[in-house]
Amino acid sequence: MTLTHSGNGARFAARPLTVDGTPTQEWLDALADAPELDMTACREILVVAAHPDDETLGFGAALATLAGLGARVQVVAVSDGGASHPGPDRGGLESIRRAELHDAMRVLGLPAPICLGMPDGELNDYEGLLADRLTAMLADRPGTPWIAATWRGDGHPDHEAVGRAAAAAAQRRGAVLVEYPIWMWHWATPGDVAVPWDRLRVVPAASHALERKAAAAQCYRSQIQMASQWGSVEPAPLPSFVVRRLLAVREVVF
């Protein structure tokens, strides 16, 4: 089942990763006086990633910070990321990316992730099922849990589908929803009308949390290094300038 939606896929497609995108310093300047997110009331949170690495690159410092505050943090990877490289060995790549995800969780000091195994690149078709799964997970958590997910307007269709499913689950269960962007940093610009600036909050993160995020990002070697295991040398899915920007900008949520 696919839910009705509109997002920023056209904006993302118009600015491919072959170009540098918005410079990091522009974002740092734009966020200098942005209001901070109050995380002190968060005792339980589901963190939903469309693909292994989204949770770290978009929300890794928040994960380490929340764990340090004593919150119960559970990462949920919706897909196993098997479509990030061309080639026939999709199952082998999925195994690699699951292993990388588990390594990253250990670096961040978190429990083992839940891997749902939905098909990478096709999450629009599983949006209703995902909303049901997340609703059930929230129902098992006491009090008023939080749920964090990739932003509904991020531009990548999988990211947006996961964000919509998380929003539906949060509404059903009365959970606190926060959405973290990843590709927005590439295709948008400060003041962009496609971004809900009035809802933006900066995640307060100590230096140790940022260090853990950077270390966890290095676990995703299949995404940040050139690959040859699929028959030819392929460029890294995440160019180095993209990774540097994601590690340098302050994490935000809507």
What are the CA-CA distances from residue 101 to residues 16, 26, 93, 145, 231 (Å)? Answer: 25, 30, 12, 23, 24
DSSP string, 168-232: HHHHHHT-EEEEE-STHHHH--TT-TTS-GGG-EEPP--HHHHHHHHHHHTT-HHHHS-B-TTSS
**Residue 20 confidence (pLDDT) above 60:** yes
| Mean predicted confidence (pLDDT) in 158-179 | 98
The tens digit of pLDDT for each residue in 120-163 reads 999 999 999 999 999 999 999 988 999 999 999 999 999 999 99
**Residue 79 confidence (pLDDT) above 50:** yes
pLDDT, position 14? 92
Q: End-to-end CA distance of the chain: give it in Å, rounded.
A: 25
pLDDT, position 93? 81
pTM, two decimals, is 0.92
| Mean predicted confidence (pLDDT) in 80-101 | 75
The tens digit of pLDDT for each residue in 106-118 reads 999 999 999 999 9
Closest CA to 154 of 20, 1, 7: 7
Closest CA to 66 of 44, 33, 91: 44
For 185, phi then psi, to 5°, come to -60, -20
Are the beta carbons of 107 and 67 closer than 8 angstroms? Answer: no
pLDDT category at 237 given cuts 50, 70, 90 is confident
Q: Which residue has the higher pLDDT, 2 or 168?
A: 168
Architecture field, domain 39-253: 3-Layer(aba) Sandwich (3.40)
The tens digit of pLDDT for each residue in 87-96 reads 546 667 888 9
The tens digit of pLDDT for each residue in 211-222 reads 999 999 999 998
> Alpha-carbon distance 216 to 120, whole Å?
21
| Mean predicted confidence (pLDDT) in 213-232 | 79
pLDDT category at 81 given cuts 50, 70, 90 is confident
Closest CA to 155 of 1, 2, 15: 15
62 CB contacts (<8 Å, ≥6 apart)?
Answer: 39, 148, 180, 203, 205, 209, 251, 253
Are the beta carbons of 241 and 247 closer than 8 angstroms? Answer: no
The one-character DSSP state at 13 is H
